Amino acid sequence: MKYGFWLPIFGGWLRNVEDEKMPPTFDYAKKVIQSAEDWGYDTTLIAELYLNDIKGTEADSIEAWSTAAALAAVTEKIEIMTAVRPVFHNPAVTAKMAANIDHISNGRFTLNIVSGWWAEEAKQYGGDFTEHDERYERTEEFLEILKGLWTEDTFSYDGKFYQIENTKLAPKPVQRPNPILYAGGESEKGKQVISSLCDAYVLHGHTVEEAEVKIADMKERRKAAGREALQSIGMAAYVVCRDTEEEALEEVKRITTVGDLSGYAGFKDFTSMSELEQQVKLQDYSVSNRGLRPNLVGTPEQIAKQIIEFEKVGVDLLLLQCSPQLEELERFSKQVMPKVEQLRASFTNI
C-alpha cells in the first residue's frame, strides 16, 4: 500500500464543521506537503475546482495548477497528482504545462482526469458543460491529444471538439511515454474511457466488498481493451484515528451531524450529473468523496486491519483526508503505517 493525501485547498473536508484550523492558503499547503514528505507519504492529490465545494461558494479556495507548479519546486520525492477537467482547458496548452511541471518536479507530476459534474461552476467560469456522455467524448479527444503531443515529434488532430495542426511540443515530459494518467468514473461511458485511455484507476470511498467488485470489473475491461495492467488503483478515504473506538465513533457523529447547508451547494449536481452507482445520502456527502464508506475509523490497529483488507482486493494507493490535516497526517504516519507493516509481517509468518 502507498499512502497519499488530498491537498487541503478548501479549508477542510467537513461540510458541517465551520473552522477546521487548516486555512486555504499556499503557506499551509506547503507546510502540509513538506511535512508529509518527511513522514513517508507517497502522493498528494490536488483537486481542481474554481468554487469551494466544501465550505460554500463564497469561501476561499486555492487554484490547482499554479499550486502544483509551486509545490513541485519546494518538494523532492512526493508525487504531485493534479486534477484537470477538459471542459475548462485547451489540451495542447495543458500538454505543454504538464511537461513543464514534470521537469520542475523531475518526473513527479501526474494527472487526474475529471470530466466534470458541477454545472453551476461551469456557468460561472465559462466551461463548456454538455450532457454526460458528451463530456466523456470530449475527454477522449483531450487524452488522445495529450498522448500524441507527448510522444510524437509533430502531431495533428481533427476531432469534434479540438483541432490542432502540425503541433510541436518540446521538451517532452521526463516520464516516458507520459506522466501517469489517473481517472475515476462510475458510468458506463466513464469506465470505457478509463479502461482504454488511462493508466490508473481511482475510486471514491467504498466498502471492501464494493471496491472488490469495481476493481475486478475494471481489470476485465482493461483486458478486453487489449491494454496492459493498470499501474495503480487508488481510493479516497477519510480517516478518524483515536486511542479508543468510542472516541473515534464520537468524532464521526460530530462531523456528520448536518447543520448549516452552505457547503452543500454542489450536492444536487454531484448526485444528478455523475451517473453514480451508489445512492449518496446527505450524511455521506457531509464528508468529501464518500470518505467514510471505507470505514478507516477506530484505533490504529482497527484501521490497519481494514487497510490490509483493501490491499487484498487490489487497492494499492490510499488518498486520505483528515482534519485537522497536519496533526492527523502525522498521527496516521506514526501510529497506523507501522501497524500495517506489523500486521502484514505477522500474516506472512503464519
Q: What parts of the chain have a pLDDT lower than 50?
A: 263, 267, 269-280
Sign, CA dihedral 11-258-206-49, equals negative
- Pairwise CA distance, residues 8 & 31, whole Å: 11
Q: What is the pLDDT of residue 278?
A: 46
Closest CA to 5 of 243, 327, 284: 327
- Pairwise CA distance, residues 328 & 49, whole Å: 24
Which stretch of DSSP H or E encloses residue 253? helix 245-256
> Could you confirm whether domain 2-349 is CATH 3.20.20.30?
yes
Q: What residues form DSSP beta bridges with 297?
A: 240
Please check whether residue 46 is in contact with residue 80, taking contact to mean a CB–CB distance below 8 angstroms.
yes
Q: What is the pLDDT of residue 276?
A: 41
Angle, vertex CA 33, rays to CA 333 and CA 56, nearest 5: 105
Q: What is the pLDDT of residue 79?
A: 98
Q: What is the pLDDT of residue 298?
A: 98
Domain residue spans of the chain: 2-349
Beta strands in 219-266 (DSSP E): 232-241
Q: What is the pLDDT of residue 273?
A: 47
Cell of 75: 518538494
Q: What is the pLDDT of residue 283?
A: 62
Q: What is the pLDDT of residue 274?
A: 45
73 φ/ψ angles, rounded to the nearest 5 degrees: -80, -15
Residue 234, helix vs strand vs coil: strand
CB-CB neighbours of 279 under 10 Å: 7
